[in-house]
């Protein structure tokens, strides 16, 4: 099963945008992400609908962050992306009358729900500002190593 990496990609793009002076085009973001500009436009469109980014047309246009990084959590971004499934694993449903399958699914459903709730709770605690600060620390440390 293919993993949904849109949240990771969005975070990557937003941190590039936060470091860039002025709007970034879909083409520039696609190079940062190693993907197609159409994918960037589609994903950024979801963030625009949520009021997190804005787009400007024309020669100096592109995407820009429309909110304070400290006010945006990973949970908000996850929600803006349509609340993709958190886990790639799931239950069997081939024999719903089977008591073994019912017992297994009940146990897994509970575990999945608890794990997802914990993960989403943690997502609500992490902001884009937290990630930007971590990036800044890592960037400074790398410069210090090279300098």
Q: What is the pLDDT of residue 1?
A: 57
* pLDDT number for residue 142: 95
- Give the sign of the dihedral formed by CA 38, CA 41, CA 42, CA 44: positive
- Residue 97: the pLDDT is 95
pLDDT < 50 regions, the chain: none
Residues 60-99 pLDDT 10s? 889 999 999 999 999 999 999 998 888 888 899 999 999 9
* Nearest to 82, CA basis, from 4, 2, 3, 1: 4
Q: Where are the domains of the chain?
A: 6-146
Burial call 29-53: b when 16+ CB within 10 Å, e when fewer: bbebbebeeeebbebbebbbebebb
Fold of 6-146: Arc Repressor Mutant, subunit A (1.10.10)
pLDDT at 73: 98
**Residues pairing with 62 in the sheet:** 56
């Amino acid at each position: 099963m293919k993993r949904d990496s849109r949240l990771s990609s969005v975070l990557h793009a937003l941190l590039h945008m936060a470091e860039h002076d002025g709007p970034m085009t879909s083409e520039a973001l696609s190079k940062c992400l190693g993907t197609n500009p159409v994918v960037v436009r589609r994903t950024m469109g979801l963030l625009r609908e949520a009021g997190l980014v804005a787009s400007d047309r024309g020669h100096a246009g592109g995407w820009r962050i429309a909110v304070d990084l400290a006010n945006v959590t990973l949970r908000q971004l996850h929600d803006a992306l349509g609340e993709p499934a958190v886990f790639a694993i799931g239950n069997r449903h081939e024999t719903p009358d089977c008591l073994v399958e019912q017992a297994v699914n009940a146990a897994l459903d509970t575990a999945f729900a608890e794990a997802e709730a914990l993960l989403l709770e943690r997502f609500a605690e992490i902001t884009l500002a937290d990630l930007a600060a971590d990036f800044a620390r890592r960037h400074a440390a790398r410069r210090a190593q090279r300098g």
